[in-house]
Structure 1
Amino acid sequence: MALFHVQGVPIGGIAIMLAIVASMGGFIFGYDTGQISDMLLMDDFLLRFAQCDAPGDVSTCKFSNVRSGLIVGLLSIGTLFGALIGAPTADFLGRRYAMVVECGVFCVGVLVQMVTFGNWKQLAVGRLISGLGVGALSAAVPMYQAETAPPQIRGALTATYQLFITLGILIAYCVSIGSRELDGASSWRTVVGIGFAWPAILAIGILFMPESPRWLAKRGRFDEMRRSLARTRGIPKGQEHSDPIVNREVEEIKSNVEFEKNVQAGWLACFKVKNMVLYRTILGMSLQSLQQLTGANYFFYYGATIFQSVGIQDSFVTQIILGAVNFGCTFLGLYVMHTFGRRIPLMLGSAWCAIWLFVFAAAGTAVDPTTDEGIGKVMIVSACLFILGYATAWAPGIWILIGETFPTSTRAKQGALSTASNWLWNFLLAFFTPFITSAIDYQYGFIFASCNILGLLVVFFFLYESSGLSLEAVDQMYNDPNCKPWTSRNWAPPGYKDRKDLIEQIRAAEQSKPLAEIKHFENASDVSREDRV
């Protein structure tokens, strides 16, 4: 039975469950991201892996820029290649079984880190291997959620991936503060070892969820596809053939699959100009890069070190506050993305983040925060307000867009390329941040503020509004020559007045039930399929 209705359309409980279970992939990502910031300050971790002037005296131990950059950043190199490998893996095995394999890869990396005794290179390699699993999951999870979630709540459900990233970061901070007083290697091995639990939850739980209906359709498994769609709608078994909403979605997906049978779907297909494919590939890669360039990971990777430098006595506690703000504000992001679409929140979020990064950088540059407690507090408040804007807009929004912007035939590969660009910039920031901050200190914030302004311009001039549309309709919108990014909010498939009319007709179809009353945008389209080949 349907759990509730959105826009008059039924939503099943399984749709919520699949979003939560799959989002454990985001939790793994967040936990691995959050743990390293505090581990770099743990005494035993410093004694084993840092460079010490007097062996056994932790006060003489510190990480060189190269060593800390590699320990932090090699995870991102692994995720970069993992994201690229994740696309063919998800296409070959299916979205669910790909996640199971990727969880296994992550666990291998955790094991390599756990068994090291003092070799920082082995620790870094373990993070590299874990990164392969995290990267592959970051490509597979948003794609699976977007392909499986009902269009009416796709944004909110896909955004749970980012919500779980923030939860993972927060839990990592909490575990770190709880384990830092443990004797010896237990302080940091506890943090790393708990990482085995999260992929186990995902690998087991995802097997009970439906497979992506779009992936099933591409393999000609239409009965399974129909049942998958029905499960997310809460339609009882045996009634999936008579439900008008399911039938409408089945016809849309079938029509799209038939169209794409003759479409080349290799890696080179991601770069063809026709049908706005190259445009969307570049757009996806740009948005993922700009998400990193907002500056969020500057605080997540090196937050404990940053807050220690501004005179905070217990930087671990400040990290938890920052992580809690990030997690709490992401709930607001779910609402914002569901209610206001994609474009407006991203543009306003960019402006908000830029303002508070300017404040952060200006305060730290004008006065030495280690000698002025008031300036230190201003910088912490600015960082928290920056995180509020990031968590509300760019954090969930980009993962939603990666799942819903690309055509079915190349979605996995375009999503992988986009996510790989995210991880490339993730590594560059993780590795070079110690060098940059050594040279320009808090002026680094001015660079991130400028990047946020660039993000605002990219969204305004190039991103189409995709909220409320089926994935097939999104593809059609990008191919409509009369639709521009700044007018796309009102676009609807041919045969409908606007997006509001589309929603009303779908609601009417659900209420009246007869299939004949449902208006398929393919039948109403003035643009033939042949014109799009």
Structure 2
Amino acid sequence: MGYSNFGGGNNLDDSHEQLIERNPLRNVCSETVADNDHGHLKKPKINKFALICAIMASVANALLGYDIGVMSGAVIYIKDQFSISDVQVELLVGTLNIYSLFGSIAAGRSSDWIGRRYTFVIAATNFLAGALLMGLSTSYTFLMIGRFFAGIGVGFACTVAPVYTAEVAPASYRGFLTTFPEVFNNVGILLGYVSNYGFSKLPANQGWRFMLGIGAVPSVILAVGALIMPESPRWLVMQGRLADARRVLDKISDTMEESRRRLEDIKEAAGIPRDHNDVVAGQKRTTGEGVWKDLLIHPTRRVRHVLLCALGIHFFQQAIGFDTVILYSPRIFEKAGITSNNEKLLATVAMGVMKLVFVLVAMILLDKVGRRPLLLTSYAGVFVSLATLATSLTVIERDPTETVRWAVIVSVSMVLSAVAFFSIGAGPVTLVYSAEIFSLRLRAQGIGLGMVVNRVVSGAISMTFLSLYKAITIGGAFFLFAGVSVVGFVFFFLFYPETQGKTLEEIEGLFGSFVHWRSIG
């Protein structure tokens, strides 16, 4: 085993122990500060510049969140204005995920080719065009064209945001910062719900246009922010621009010692000799070529394990049907007995608040209790919530009278419970974990591949949910999703190592041994 040549085709297969032995700087922990009086370690303060970078990058995920939240309410009025069928509603809601595939695939390569910053600009430009086109739509066809551009923008945004955030965050609070994309996704969803409720007061043929068109605002914020924030230091190293990488690391690290250590770690992972301290000969060292071969055609045992974990966590996040809860929440509340559009939209706002609160809780806990415990707790809670929701909806469908008012209350409560459990683990941990586990060279395109799986599964479920619940009842649909969450729990329990507190370079040594059930921590 050994390091690949920089920009070459082999994978990084060194164990964690070998990395420590060859790099003594790893033994110096500059991300914690000793308390000499008490012999304890103090948790470091969060670097403000790294925090700002993470916030700006995470605005990208607000685009997806806003679109998901706002479309759940806007489609009520769009259906009436354009007299579209349920199948057309499914296509309108679900095709965004299909279109985003193209953005996710392209984003992995563009992140390696032109950098993380300019990939953000591409995302913002596409979503801006999509938001304006949807807001000005005069027909269903025109609306679908706007969805295409918005989908491309979402695909770019969802891929590059976790990559960039993970690469600027120090190991000691990487979980906290890498949760930001999910936090902003939830902020976007909540803003979409609030937009639905606020603009529903306008005439029906105008309100939904404002709901969709106002999505152009975060697009502009993202584009401007991308031009201000620095490039990822790991991408700069991959291009051989070591001096530029050092300058960025000096800003996002708390001490010069920490900055030097992080640079040495990145150089070692990239296969650059230590005596190179400026620009590596050859200008641009890589544009992402050969990565697909290393990921899919000739992967090592370690890469296969990483790929299994990355694709699996994205698959189960969507296969448990959570996007249907968000996208079709007004329909679910209607089935539960809430008939007023105003009350349905208010209920979605409550759901958005619940989602945001619990993802903030996850942000605090990720670097304290770890990824595995939150992930396992989340899927167990989602199972209980969805199974109970399915039971209560089945009771309501069979006897929709006043005698089952308890079932209405239980249904609404279980929707909120499912949202809470999802947001404390399955939502944020998916982005954090998949951004951490790929090696430097494979990271951008590996995360892009994970997002492809995410969007395919989400699109397939959201485009078939109405047909599914008509075929097996809405209670049956949620029983199905509850069963999938059990399979997900077992999968994570067996195969997922804990990554809490380790540098991105150290994490590579955790993979290759597939079964991790012996250790929860």
Secondary structure in 2 matching 1:467: coil
Asked if residue 360 in structure 1 is aligned to residue 389 in structure 2, the reply is yes
TM superposition shift of 1:451: 1.1
In the superposition, relative to structure 1, how do residues 8 and 353 fare at CA in structure 2: closer, same or farther (>3 Å)?
closer
Q: 1:408 aligns to what SS in structure 2?
A: coil
Shift of 1:488: 6.5
Match of 2:324 in 1: 298
Counterpart code for 1:306: I
Q: Which amino acid aligns with 1:180?
A: S
- SS in structure 2 of the partner of residue 23 of structure 1: helix
Work out whether residues 291 and 422 of structure 1, in 8 Å CA contact, stay in contact via their aligned partners in 2: yes
Structure 1 residue 157: Cα displacement: 0.6
CA distance in 2, matches of 1:49, 1:405: 46
1:176 maps to which residue? 196
Query: What do the CA deviations read for 1:342-367 (whole angstroms, capped 9, x no partner)?
Result: 11111111111101111110111134
Deviation of 1:259 after TM superposition, in Å, equals: 6.5
Per-residue deviation, 1:211: 1.3
Q: 2:450 — aligned with what?
A: 418
Give the counterpart letter for 1:16 in structure 2. L
Match of 2:112 in 1: 91
Q: What is the match of residue 131 of structure 2?
A: 110
8 Å contact kept, 2:32–2:42: no
Equivalent residue, structure 1, for 2:315: 289
Going from structure 1 to structure 2, the CA distance change for 1:384 and 1:10 (only over 3 Å counts) comes to closer
Structure-to-structure mapping, 1:395-434, within 5 angstroms:
395-434=427-466
User: In the alignment, what sits opposite 2:304?
Assistant: 278
SS at match of 2:46: strand
**Pairing partner for 1:470 from 476, 487, 503:** 503
Query: Secondary structure at the residue paired with 1:486?
Result: coil
Equivalent residue for 2:48? 13
Q: Is 1:72 matched with 2:109?
A: no
CA separation in 2, counterparts of 1:488 and 1:216? 36
How far 1:221 sits from its partner (Å)? 0.8
Structural mapping, 1:125-164, within 5 Å: 125-164=145-184
**Are the structure 2 counterparts of residues 191 and 336 from structure 1 closer, same or farther at C-alpha, using a change threshold of 3 Å?**
same
Letter of the aligned partner of 1:485 in structure 2? H
- Which residue of the partner structure matches residue 185 of structure 1? 205
Whichever residue aligns with residue 117 of structure 2, its letter is: R
Contact 2:71 2:212 in 1 (8 A): no
Structure 1, 255-264 or 212-221: larger mean CA deviation? 255-264
Tell whether the 8 Å contact from 2:373 to 2:520 is kept in structure 1 after alignment.
no
Q: After superposition, what is the alpha-carbon deviation per residue over 1:451-484, rounded to whole angstroms, capped at 9, x for unaligned? A: 11111111111112111111110112225x5x85
Greater CA deviation, 200-209 or 172-181? 200-209
CA gap of 1:406–1:259, structure 2 versus 1, over 3 A, is farther
Q: Could you tell me which runs of 5 or more consecutive residues in structure 1 were left unpaired when the two chains were aligned.
A: 52-63, 236-242, 491-533
How big is each residue's C-alpha offset from its partner over 1:309-362, in whole Å with a ceiling of 9 and x where there is no partner?
221132111111111111111111112212111111111111111011111101
Whether the aligned pair in 1 keeps the contact of 2:130 and 2:150 (CA below 8 Å) is: yes
**Which is worse superposed, 269-278 or 402-411?**
269-278
Q: Distance in 2 between matches of 1:309 and 1:362?
A: 13
Instruction: Show CA shifts across 1:489-515 (max 9, x none).
Output: 77xxxxxxxxxxxxxxxxxxxxxxxxx
Q: How does 1:313-462 map to 2 (within 5 A)?
A: 313=340, 314-368=343-397, 370-371=400-401, 372-441=404-473, 442-462=475-495
Give how far 1:402 is off. 1.4
Give secondary structure in 2 for the equivalent of 1:468: coil
Aligned-partner Cα distance in 2 for 1:484–1:298: 32
Matches of 2:31 and 2:260, distance apart in 1: 20
Could you list the per-position Cα deviations for residues 31-65 of structure 1 after superposition, in whole angstroms to 9, with x for gaps in the alignment?
001111111222xx2343224xxxxxxxxxxxx23
Q: CA contact under 8 A between 2:135 and 2:210: conserved in structure 1?
A: no
Cα contact 2:136–2:209 (8 A) shared by 1: no
Q: Tell whether the 8 Å contact from 2:167 to 2:234 is kept in structure 1 after alignment.
A: yes
State whether residues 320 and 482 of structure 2, in contact with CA within 8 Å, keep that contact through their aligned partners in structure 1: yes
Q: Does the residue aligned with 1:445 lie in a helix, a strand or coil?
A: helix
Tell me the CA shift for residue 264 of structure 1. Answer: 7.1
Alignment-mate amino acid for residue 164 of structure 1: F
2-side partners of 1:355 and 1:275: how far apart? Answer: 35
> What secondary structure is seen at the aligned counterpart in 2 of 1:40?
helix
Letter of the structure 2 residue corresponding to residue 219 of structure 1: Q
Superposed counterparts of 1:466-505, under 5 Å: 466-479=499-512, 484-486=515-517
Distance 2:113 2:362 in 1: 33
- SS of the residue 2:502 aligns to: coil
- Contact kept? 1:353, 1:386, Cα under 8 Å: yes
The aligned residue for residue 265 of structure 2 is 252
How far did residue 87 of structure 1 move?
Answer: 0.6
CA distance in 2, matches of 1:276, 1:133: 32
CA contact (8 A) 1:462 1:485 kept: yes
Aligned twin of 2:79 = 46
Matched, 1:266 2:291: yes
After superposition, the C-alpha distances for 1:179-211 in whole angstroms (9 at most, x for unaligned) are 112125320111111111101111112322221
Task: Judge which range, 143-152 or 276-285, deviates more.
Answer: 276-285
Alpha-carbon deviations, 1:396-424, whole Å to 9, x = none? 00000111011111111111111110000
108 and 436 in structure 1: CA distance in 2 versus 1, 3 angstrom threshold? same
Contact (CA 8 Å) 2:133, 2:142: kept in 1 or not?
yes
CA 1:453–1:155: 2 relative to 1, 3 Å: same
Matches within 5 A, 1:194-205: 194-205=214-225
Distance 1:8 1:67 in 2: 52
Query: Quick one: which amino acid aligns to residue 262 of structure 2?
Result: E
Q: Which residue of 1 aligns with 2:25?
A: none
AA matched with 1:247: R
3-state SS of 1:116 partner: coil
Q: Distance in 2 between matches of 1:7 and 1:133?
A: 41
Q: For residues 487 and 7 of structure 1, what CA distance do their matches in structure 2 show?
A: 30
Per-residue deviation, 1:8: 4.8
Alignment check: 8 A CA contact 1:370 1:376 kept = no
Deviation readout 1:406-453 (Å, 9 max, x if unpaired): 111111111111111000011111110010111122211111111111
Structure 2 runs not aligned, ≥5 long: 1-29, 34-40, 274-284
